[in-house]
Amino acid sequence: MASLAATTLLWRGTVLDRAWRLNPAAYRRLAPLGSKIGLVFLLLSTALLLSGVGWFHRRLWAWKLAVVIVATQVLGDVVNLARGDLLRGATGVVIASAFLLYLFSSQIRVEFSDDARRPSRAPKS
């Protein structure tokens, strides 16, 4: 979605602009910022892509990047709550916090530790 937003904000007038019908209020707020916010969404989509690729390779830096991304989402949802958007804010806080707790679970932490990537040094028979 971040790459779609980036594309439609950087290159206006494409068939992809129809996607904004799903959230016209967001478009009204973002459109005046134009290419500046489009570049921010492009950077976000790049960070998400890198995190996803690193995640599947069980890289510790990808786990850290995922934690930062999800923690930022939790913070944004708390801001939504404070601004009075109770349903969206509360739903976002619950879902993103659950995912953050999952990231900090011992099973996931072990998967991304340096020991998990080292080859086994079992004695040869």
pLDDT in tens, 10-48: 999 899 999 999 999 999 999 999 899 999 999 999 999
- In this predicted structure, what is the pLDDT of residue 125? 55
Structure pTM? Answer: 0.77
Q: How far is CA 36 from CA 45, 55, 91, 116, 118, in A?
A: 15, 29, 29, 41, 43
Question: Which amino acid appears at position 17 of this protein?
Answer: D
Rounded mean pLDDT of the chain?
A: 90
- Find all residues with CB under 8 Å of 39, minimum gap 6, and list them: 6, 10
Query: Which is nearest to 102 in space by CA: 54, 57, 55, 39?
Result: 55
Phi, psi of 119, rounded to the nearest 5 degrees: -65, 150
The region of weakest confidence among 26-30, 74-78, 118-122 is: 118-122
Question: Which amino acid appears at position 118 of this protein?
Answer: R
- In this predicted structure, what is the pLDDT of residue 84? 92
- In this predicted structure, what is the pLDDT of residue 106? 93
Distance CA 92, CA 86 (A): 10
Is residue 107's pLDDT more than 60? Answer: yes
